[in-house]
């Protein structure tokens, strides 16, 4: 599953969703979920300027409902990858740390954590079983690397399994170099799931 921002960023930078889908050749469903709010010609998961928490909580609930429906329709969360860019990265972390079922993998690009102390305190029993890949850019003008890195270190210190990768990029996807890391992560998680 990819959010709209991830899909648009992928189309602009080497077709990331297609590349990741190529790695996950055994997956047959690849729904992309648009965030619920219109924003500047695209979509938004929450208001980044005013009162962020209610939007994050609402969007997390919408994603939980979607995942629950997917499970009811026979699509196991254990075979599902969740992928998000920017706000979608934040939502990937929110869902991955709070949802009560394990994912095949969780991938977040160029994002951050909303209320990291609260997220760590409220993580689900399944959170430490999840596998995260989080990437960020050295020159991100919207989300400074130092801030996001400190937040990811806090999550890792709480016992979260996270692969953290930094690329020389801005608030974007860094072409084939980043796609290759994502592809390897997806392939490794698929192999891990097949063995487990």
Structural fold of domain 2-25+32-195: Rossmann fold (3.40.50)
Residue 196 predicted with pLDDT over 50: yes
pLDDT digits (tens, 9 = 90+) for 146-194: 999 999 999 999 999 999 999 999 999 988 999 999 999 999 999 987 7
pLDDT digits (tens, 9 = 90+) for 125-138: 999 999 999 999 99
What's the predicted TM-score (pTM) here? 0.83
What is the sign of the dihedral through the CA atoms of 126, 123, 182 and 43?
positive
pLDDT-derived band at 73, boundaries 50, 70, 90: very high
Give the bridge partners for 132, in sequence order: 106, 162
62-68 long-range Cβ contacts below 8 angstroms, 24+ apart: 62/36, 63/33, 63/91, 63/95, 64/95, 64/99, 66/1, 66/33, 67/95, 67/99, 67/101
The ranges assigned to domains in the chain are 2-25+32-195
What would the two tokens of residue 84 be?
Answer: 């998000």
State the DSSP H helix or E strand holding residue 131, giving kind and residue range, or none if neither: strand 131-137
183 contact partners, CB below 8 Å, separation of at least 6: 19, 20, 22, 23
């Amino acid at each position: 599953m990819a959010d709209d921002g991830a899909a648009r960023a992928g189309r602009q930078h080497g077709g990331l969703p297609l590349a990741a889908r190529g790695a996950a050749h055994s997956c047959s469903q690849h729904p992309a979920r648009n965030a619920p709010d219109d924003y500047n010609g695209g979509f938004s998961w929450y208001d980044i300027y005013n009162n962020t928490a209610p939007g994050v909580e609402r969007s997390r609930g919408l994603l939980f409902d979607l995942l629950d429906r997917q499970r009811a329709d026979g699509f196991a969360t254990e075979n599902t990858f969740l992928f998000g860019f920017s706000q979608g990265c934040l939502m990937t972390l929110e869902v991955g740390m709070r949802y009560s079922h394990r994912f095949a993998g969780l991938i977040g690009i160029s994002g951050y954590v909303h209320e990291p102390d609260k997220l760590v305190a409220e993580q689900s029993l399944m959170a430490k079983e999840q596998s995260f890949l989080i990437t960020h850019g050295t020159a991100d003008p919207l989300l400074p690397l130092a801030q996001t890195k400190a937040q990811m270190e806090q999550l890792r210190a709480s016992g979260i399994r996270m692969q953290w990768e930094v690329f020389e990029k801005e608030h974007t996807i860094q072409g084939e170099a980043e796609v290759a890391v994502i592809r390897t992560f997806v392939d490794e998680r698929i192999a891990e799931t097949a063995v487990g």
